[in-house]
Amino acid sequence: MRRRIIPLFNGLIWAIFLGSLPLTAAMAAGGNCAALGPLPATVEVGEGQQQELQSPVPITRLAVGDPKIADVRVNGNQAFLLTGMAPGTTSLMVWTACASAPRQSMVFVQGRATAAMTSAARLPSDDPALPSQVQTDIRFVEVSRTKLKEASTSIYGKNSNFLFGSPGTVPNTAVTPRVLPLRNIDPRIAVPSIPLANDVFNIVAGGGNFLAIINAMESSGFAYTLARPSLVALSGQSASFLAGGEIPIPIPSANSNSYSIEYKEFGIRLTLTPTVVSNDQIALKVAPEVSELDYNNAVTIGGTTVPAFTIRRTDTSISLADGESFVISGLISTQNGSQVSKFPGLGDIPILGAFFRSSSISREERELLMIVTPHLVQPLAANAQLPSLPGEKLRNYDPNWYRLYFLENGDFDKRSGLSQ
């Protein structure tokens, strides 16, 4: 029995000493399968790039879930070569002589643009104590400001056929009232027609048979949109979120007068894949999108009004620490417009030319930001008290008649536990 042990022991010593095998491989060669550790939870490789992975024991079989995303080939007895074929995610399984069950890992193939950005990043840690769940908060902030100025002049003879003014100031046809009972007379038809513009402010001066009208307006507007979707996903797994709806769109059939219905989604959509690299690093692939119906650019199909879609989206990969924020996309857009309508020649006269032209200036500014913030999270304990849900205190709200009439002032926010 002693003669068998000594040569085996000497073989291990020589293998380690000569450096022909790593320590774990030498132990496995001696029949110690305990040296076989788990594969990394995730493996990243760039599109069109290769990565060699070592195994401490001989490999008997290899397989990937989707060969179109990644390819794997044996490179000797204890190594294999992983090649990124196309951007995406797939699974990797490795069988060895030590166990019938394969070791599994997730393979992330990055596009050529993102692979260069993250080539220096460390691979995910195999520490089992590493948090495995990530909550990602996305904030969409959109601010729109508008400014409009208009000015024009109209000259009108009430009892004659004379009228001068900017386009769009043609008077209504005056109607002579009939002899009707007093209660049936519309007072508007008893007043001579005056070319007033309904979409601006009008200043009328004059009397008798002559009126001068100045149409002027200055307007400004402000719009603010904020959306804050939040999604929790397991490290290395993809998740999606949609808050919106679907609108039916008629699709004409080929060589037929019939229509088929296709539903188009709209609203707030979020698709992400977080990967916990370490306790202070989270690799995040995120694709947020906000879409809304636009009836100003609608089209008519088969007698049905089909709206257009206003879409803001981005698709990117970033690396952040727990709680850090990044502006993943931004837009500052400014549109200025100016239009002058004038009577040829007379509108060019200094000062007096103002009575023979109409001017308008418009300005629109839009700012859009998308901000992402990941957090490492843990589930609540089994017996922990859950946080107050939105509107929880108003779920059974049913005031009596006295409280509803005398005390209710509509101040629900302070007692409803609404989301902040």
CATH code: domain of residue 106: 2.60.40.1080
- In the 8-state DSSP scheme, what is residue 275? E
Contact between residue 314 and residue 370 where contact means Cβ atoms under 8 Å apart = yes
What three-state secondary structure class fits 21? Answer: coil
Tell me the C-alpha distance between 83 and 49, whole Å: 6
Tell me the C-alpha distance between 210 and 192, whole Å: 12
Q: Do 74 and 139 have their domain in common? A: no
Tell me the C-alpha distance between 324 and 9, whole Å: 53
Does any domain span residue 62?
yes
> How confident is the model at residue 128, as a pLDDT?
57
Residue 315 CA, chain-centre distance (Å), reads: 9
Tell me the C-alpha distance between 74 and 87, whole Å: 22
Tell me the C-alpha distance between 60 and 100, whole Å: 10
One-letter identity of residue 292 = E
Q: Do 293 and 263 have their domain in common? A: yes
Q: Do 57 and 111 have their domain in common? A: yes
Q: Do 83 and 137 have their domain in common? A: no
Does any domain span residue 36?
no
Strand partners, 175: none
Closest CA to 75 of 98, 92, 51, 95: 51
Q: Do 70 and 99 have their domain in common? A: yes
Q: Do 48 and 139 have their domain in common? A: no
Q: Do 112 and 230 have their domain in common? A: no
> What are the phi and psi torsion angles at 413 (to 5°)?
-65, -35
How many domains is the chain built from? 2
Does any domain span residue 29?
no
Tell me the C-alpha distance between 134 and 137, whole Å: 10
Tell me the C-alpha distance between 298 and 305, whole Å: 6
Residue 166 CA, chain-centre distance (Å), reads: 44
Low-confidence ranges of the chain (pLDDT < 70): 1-39, 112-129, 155-199, 206-209, 412-420
Is the pTM above the cut of 0.85? no
Cα separation values, 351 from 135, 214, 356, 392, Å: 64, 15, 10, 66
What three-state secondary structure class fits 388? Answer: coil
Residue 43 CA, chain-centre distance (Å), reads: 28
Q: Do 104 and 231 have their domain in common? A: no
Tokens 């100016």 found at: 338
Strand partners, 221: 146
Does any domain span residue 255?
yes
Q: Do 139 and 229 have their domain in common? A: yes
178-202 core/surface letters (b: 16 or more CB in 10 A; e: else)? eeeeeeeeeeeeeeeebbebeebeb
Q: Which residues contact 169 (CB under 8 A, 6 or more apart)?
A: 152, 154, 163, 195, 196, 197, 213, 215
Q: Do 86 and 137 have their domain in common? A: no
Does any domain span residue 388?
no
Domain residue limits at 240: 133-143+222-337+362-377
> How confident is the model at residue 413, as a pLDDT?
63
> How confident is the model at residue 42, as a pLDDT?
78
Tokens 């709680």 found at: 323
Does any domain span residue 180?
no
Q: Do 243 and 295 have their domain in common? A: yes
Q: Encoding tokens for residue 382?
A: 């089994």
Radius of gyration of the chain (CA): 37
Does any domain span residue 170?
no
Q: Encoding tokens for residue 49?
A: 């790039």
Tell me the C-alpha distance between 179 and 185, whole Å: 9
H helices of 204-308, where? none
Q: Which residues contact 62 (CB under 8 A, 6 or more apart)?
A: 72, 73, 74, 80, 92, 93, 94, 95
Q: Encoding tokens for residue 294?
A: 């636009």
Contact between residue 193 and residue 156 where contact means Cβ atoms under 8 Å apart = no
Does any domain span residue 47?
yes
| Burial bucket for residue 369 (CB in 10 Å: 0-12, 13-18, 19+) | middle
Q: Do 243 and 312 have their domain in common? A: yes
